[in-house]
Amino acid sequence: MTIEQVQEEIVQEFSMFEDWMDKYSYLIELGNDLQELDPKDKNDQNLIKGCQSRVWLVADIEDGKINFRGESDAVIVKGLVALLLRVVSGRTPKELLETDLHFIDDIGLKQHLSPTRSNGLLAMVKQIRLYAVAYSKIEG
Amino acid sequence: MNYDIDKIRSWFPVLKNDVYNKPLIYLDSAASAQKPVQVLMKEEELHNQYYGNIHRGAHFMADKATNEYEGVREKIRAFVNAATIREIIFTKGTTESINLVASSFCERYVGAGDEIIVSEMEHHANIVPWQLAAERKGAKIVKLPFNDSGILEIELLVDLINENTKLIAVAHVSNVLGTINPVKEIIDIAHKSNVPVLVDGAQAAPHVKIDVQDIDADFYVFSAHKMYGPNGVGVLFGKEKWLNEMPPYQGGGEMISEVSFEGTTFNELPYKFEAGTPHITGVIAFGAAIDLMNEIGLDNMAAWEHSLLEYATEKLKEIDGLRIYGEAPRKSGVISFNIEGVHSYDLAMLLDKMGIALRTGHLCADTVMAHYNIPGCVRISFGMYNTKAEIDAFIVALNRVRMMF
């Protein structure tokens, strides 16, 4: 599936929820299901510090594709991280740089990406792009 | 108690709003209070009738605006019982007031090896300006700790003060713990060693009667926006002796007496510290907020808010796994807490969806979070307009949200 297809799939999934509580319950479920990071990866280098919640992001490149892993101390943010990882992990830098991440807006959770929320998510999206830029240069 | 809550609520149009199709329950007044019609109307009156730059114009509008502006200075003087209006400086807010003192006071009195005592329960605004000043001067910040109940260990103060101590900075009311600190006692101890004290009154001014002469504060600072006034306006009370000796903070218009390229002489107090065109609208409208607080009576407001605080504390304590940070016997305005196993940000996100506005995170008080070894917490805070019914609704919502995890 392309990044665009995964985004559409998520939008489809969320369209089934009738009210916000179901939506958030699903995010909590996703957050609880997200594989936890190795404690050694939860270091300051991987930390994206928001003032209300913290997010960790780890990236490795393998066969030209960037594998992202991540976590947050807040479970709803963790659910959003899980969604983001589903979209961006295992992609080439080129794919990542050519795509617009619009699904969070589409599923009505854009408020969690606003700079004033300072939950670390917006910084995580920026960090994903920075990794893509950096690896695209290495990969030439 | 004769407290007409319906009438008070009717003065705050914003409280009638729905958010996410639910009635707004505003429990974040410690971050910023809502504005009553009296304040909004005063802003409009100024702009519709007599707006002009103050202290400068030779015309009716400027004179009228100047009189209003200076009238508010007198209202503030009376509100905190300062000896003279020369001791009342208008600033952008508490943060600027503290930065002004940290800059000008430290410039004049602090040198290498000196010490500034800062309490462990301070807002970042009452820590960072001192750190910056200390760094410039080669001085040191010394911590006055608090205990797990949220009470300052002032018995340690005598030993912390030495001949190098140049100032003590302490909050009147903690923005996280709600503790009302015994500032009069602290100042008394400090003054025995001739150490001046700056009191951060940002959280006290909306709730606690302030008498700067009674407590003998050297500096007392607060913001209009937490007192139902406009944002962008703050006050610095400083004893005339200090303000006279301190160099100006910023240069510009208004604060000068005469300017030539050979040198400048500065204006008298309080204007020496008010460079540039101030927030004229904000200050004048702030006067309307002060009038309103005086009309209701600070004691009445405090009693009402205290009953809310006690009621909410009791209800919160019934929730399993809930811990309140700050259990001092003398508290005001705020309750901070966490529920075991639930991240504060998750709670706030869901409560927001239920129309409840509150604060989460480190609350601009990392040192308090570090004391309890937590990344953050949830804080509810009360204003003159909150009700027990709102607390009931909040508790119902909190219990509902808690079950989602």
Q: Residue A75 is nearest to which of B346, B360, B362, comparing CB atoms?
A: B346
Residue B133 zone, left/alpha/beta (φ > 0; ψ -120 to 50; rest) = alpha
Q: Of these residues, A1, A16, A51, A138, which one is catalytic?
A: A51
Q: Summarize pLDDT for B114-160 with one digit per residue, the tens.
A: 999 999 999 999 999 999 999 999 999 999 999 999 999 999 999 99
Please name which of B305, B292, B304, B293 lies closest in space to residue B2, comparing C-alpha atoms. B304
User: CB count, 10 Å around CB of B268?
Assistant: 10
Distance separating alpha carbons of residues B201 and B205, to the nearest angstrom: 6
Looking up residue A38, the CATH number of its domain turns out to be 3.90.1010.10
Q: Domains in chain B and their CATH numbers?
A: 5-27+297-402 (3.90.1150.10), 41-294 (3.40.640.10)
Partner-chain contact B346 A28, CB within 8 Å: yes
Helices (H), B318-385: 344-353, 366-372
Residue A98 is encoded by which pair of tokens? 């050519």
Please name which of B375, B383, B307 lies closest in space to residue B344, comparing C-alpha atoms. B375
Please name which of B235, B223, B308, B297 lies closest in space to residue B30, comparing C-alpha atoms. B223
Distance separating alpha carbons of residues B80 and B303, to the nearest angstrom: 19
What residues pair up with B258 in beta bridges, in sequence order?
Answer: B265
Partner-chain contact B405 A75, CB within 8 Å: yes
**In the Cβ-directed half-sphere of A76, how many Cα atoms lie within 13 Å?**
26
Return the active site residues of B. Answer: 364
Residue B349 is encoded by which pair of tokens? 């996100």
**Structural domain harbouring A119:** 3-139
Distance separating alpha carbons of residues B378 and B358, to the nearest angstrom: 7
Residue B321 zone, left/alpha/beta (φ > 0; ψ -120 to 50; rest) = left
In this structure, chain A runs to a length of 140
ipTM above 0.85, yes or no: no
- Number of domains observed in the structure of chain A: 1
CA dist B190 to A13, B119, B131, B166, B221, Å?
64, 13, 20, 10, 18
Buried b (16+ CB within 10 A) or exposed e, B381-395: bbbbbbbeebbebbb
Looking at residue A35, what DSSP letter applies?
A: P
Per the CB < 8 A criterion, the answer to whether B110 and B137 are in contact is yes
Distance separating alpha carbons of residues A14 and B147, to the nearest angstrom: 47
Partner-chain contact B346 A119, CB within 8 Å: no
The torsion angle over the Cα atoms of residues A16, A18, A21 and A26, rounded to 10 degrees, is: -10
**pLDDT averaged per 10 residues, chain A (length 140):** 94 89 92 94 87 87 94 92 95 92 86 69 87 83
B36-B73-B232 Cα angle (round to 5): 50
Residues 6+ apart with CB under 8 A from B333: B29, B30, B173, B178, B203, B206, B207, B305, B309, B381, B382
Per the CB < 8 A criterion, the answer to whether B233 and B282 are in contact is yes
Give chain A positions within 8 Å (CB) of B373.
none
What's the one-letter identity of residue B25?
A: I
Spell out, as residue ranges, where chain B has pLDDT lower than 70: 1
Partner-chain contact B353 A24, CB within 8 Å: yes
pTM above 0.90, yes or no: yes
Give the DSSP letter string of B47-82: IIII---TTT-SSHHHHHHHHHHHHHHHHHHHHHT-
Give chain A positions within 8 Å (CB) of B348.
52
Is A51 a known active-site residue?
Answer: yes
pLDDT score, position A117: 61
Distance separating alpha carbons of residues B297 and B293, to the nearest angstrom: 6
- Chain centroid to Cα A3, Å, comes to 13
- Give me the phi and psi of A110, to 5 degrees please: -60, -30
CA dist B79 to B73, B208, B211, B221, B297, Å?
10, 11, 8, 13, 11
Residue bearing tokens 């609704």: B393
Strand pairing report for B25-26 and B356-357: parallel
CA dist B367 to B81, B98, B120, B174, B387, Å?
32, 18, 6, 12, 32
In this structure, chain B runs to a length of 405
Residue B217 is encoded by which pair of tokens? 């504060």
**In the Cβ-directed half-sphere of B24, how many Cα atoms lie within 13 Å?**
15
Interface test with A, best of B343, B352, B362 (most A CBs within 10 A): B343
Residue B109 is encoded by which pair of tokens? 């009195």
Distance from CA of A67 to the nearest CA of B (A): 27
